[in-house]
Structures are given as C-alpha cells and as structure tokens.
Structure 1
Amino acid sequence: MTNISILGSGHMARALAKAMLRGNNPVQILGRDGPKTRDLVESLGPGATGGVIGAGITGAIVFLAMPHKDVHNAILEAGDSLEGRVVVDISNPVDVSTFDRLTTEPGTSAAEETARLLEGRADVVKAFNTTFAATLEDGQVGGQHLDVFIAGDSEQAKEKVSAVAAAAGLRPIDVGPLRRARELEAIMLVVMGLQVSPEHQHFNWDTALRIFP
C-alpha cells in the first residue's frame, strides 16, 4: 500500500484517484476550490481525504493533476512538503487555443521544467499524460487495458509509479530517462489535435494509446 497525494480537483484528479483506489492505495486530494475538492472526496468514498493546496502532503507519490501553466505555482505553494517524494508530472504542454504547437521551448519538456523547479528536492517522473480522464477512470477501452508510459531518471521512482499503475490494472511501460518526456508530450500534441479535428469524427476523448501485444 502506497499513500498517494493528488494536487488538483478536476477530471484527471478524479480519474487518478479512482485508479489509485482500485489498487487499494489511499488518496489525499489537495485542491484550490474547497467545495469542489470536498465534493470530489465525498464522491470517492473510503480511502480518500482532502484539503487545500499548500496543506501538508502525506503521499509518497504526488501527482500534479493540473494544466501545465499551473504547475509552477503549485510547486511554490507546496514548498518543502515535496521534499524526498516522487512527483509525477502528467501535463501536456499543448496550446489549446490552436492544438497546433507545444508551449515548451524546443529541446525540453514540461516534466524537465518541473524537475528544474524542484532542484533535486524530489524525483520527477513523467507518466499518465497519454491517458485521458474518462478512460483512465474506467481502466480500459473496448475491453483493452491502458498502457502508462513512464519516463524518469530515478529507477526507484519509476518502479514506485509502475507499481501503483499495475495495481490499478494498467500496464506500465518504462520508456527511459526523463528526457523521453519530450516525445511523450509531442505524441499527445498529435493525438489531441486528432481529438478536436472535425475531419476525424471517430476520435474522441474516450480514446487511449496502447502498444500491441
């Protein structure tokens, strides 16, 4: 059993919480919107607790379940609470006004930005950015499990994230060092562009990426 903290109270926070609870891992939800966070915690039932971002973090693994633009402030607000933990950046730095470019500078990624902000105080892992909320909450698409692609420079941190993903019924795939987050985020620029394109009517936000077999 691993204690999990999730910063955020939106759709991905809900989906991650349900996935972690499926694996019998207790979840702490910390959000900025008090009533919204309380409603989410109550809907999750046993195993879930809540509070506001900035409160003490209890999880050994901390998911940043928020848009890329909000990560910087969340890290500042969390402060020393992130010390020594595994921090999972799930964000996709996609310009959602056009779905035509990444908002990160060339040669880096959102996850690498997160690692620089933390300055070695925590191990950063990129994961769950290729899973959308609805399918992650269900744990499958069309009877098929979801793949969770994991990048990071700490083998121990990746093993911890892989373990909670597997406990939730998902298939973790280690794709290498944290710099592989650049490719994982670039893939989602393409996928999210397909989701919103009227030319691809069969794509929707209930899809997922998986490698066969």
Structure 2
Amino acid sequence: MEATEAAEAAEHAAKMARIKAARDRMVAERDGEKGLIIVHTGPGKGKSSAGFGMILRAIAHDMPCAVVQFIKGGRDTGERRLIEEHFPHLCRFHTMGEGFTWETQDKARDIAAARAGWEKAKELIRDPAIRMVLLDEINIALRYDYLELGEVLAFLRDEKPPMTHVVLTGRNAKPELIEMADLVTEMTLVKHPFRAGIKAQAGVEF
C-alpha cells in the first residue's frame, strides 16, 4: 500500500512539474504591458462588484483612479462610502445618474445625465495621472442610446492614454464594444434571491 501511495505521489509531482514548466514558459513569453479596455457584462450579478474590486486593487497599489456612475443615483452604497471616506486622495468618485430609467421616467433627464457623465469620464480618462477609470453601468446608457456608441468607441480608440485602464460595466454590452475590448467577462445568471422574494441587502447588493 505504501509503495502504491509513493508511486502515486511521485506521478502527481511529475505531472505538476510539467504543468509548472509549461506555465513558466507561457509567462516568460508574455512581457507586453498596456492600458486595457475591460468589459463586465451579462445578466448575472457581479458586474459592478467586479469593477469596484479592480478599483480597490488599484487603490492598494497606490494607483490614482476614478469612478463615474452613469445610472445609479445618489443612494448610499458601501463602495461609495468606503472610497469617499478613506481614499479620496486616490480615487475620484462621481455619481452622475439619477437612478434607474424606470425610476426617473424622464428620457430627456436621463440623456442629459448620461451626457454629463460621459463628459466627466472623458476628462478623467484624459488625465495622465489617473491609471484606471470605472464607467459603472455605461452599457445601459449605450443600450438605450443615451450616448452615441460611435463617439464612445472613437474616444477609447483615439484618445485613451496608452497605459490607462478603462472598465465598462452593465448588461447588454454592444457587440462593437466587446470587439474592441481587451478583456471581456460575461456574468451568467444561475440563481438570484430576488426571484425568491428576497430584497437587495447591504453588503451584498450595495
């Protein structure tokens, strides 16, 4: 029995050594660096959460960053409170939306808020001191044509500084944006408590 276990352990160690050697070669071959266009989309929960996770990671690396929220209104959220109270010197936080479209019920106001958010986003992205900008829920503004997709794509292509990361969240990301992006993650909805009558809860949803 001991001999069998020893043989299995040796086989496992040899397999892991081969995997490590292959991974080390892959890492060694990839030495490029650039500012990425990152898209979090899909019907599942976690798009904004993932974006804010990246913002907190940037803060931990002392990388100046910024957040522009396009749809969510002035509701108090954990991420906003944390950033504004503890890291205002590293992260600029701008909530430009007035709430979800079904709450405002005013298309002209929604368009004006989205345009104001986009102007602020361009200002922040152009700033060479800022290394990452999160455009939270901008995909919703693009979906409803509150912003002109061609203008957003052209700006990201032509004016984004080479080392600035831009993260765009929201469901139904436009195919053209997905094509342009360097990193795209689609959140898949498997199960959500809202469908079982559970309301949004602090620490989970906001």
Q: TM-score range by the shorter chain?
A: 0.3 to 0.5
Higher share in helix: 2
TM-score for both structures, normalised by structure 2: 0.38
Of the two, which has the highest radius of gyration? 2
Query: Highest relative contact order (Cα 8 Å, sep 6+), 1 or 2?
Result: 2
Higher share in strand: 1
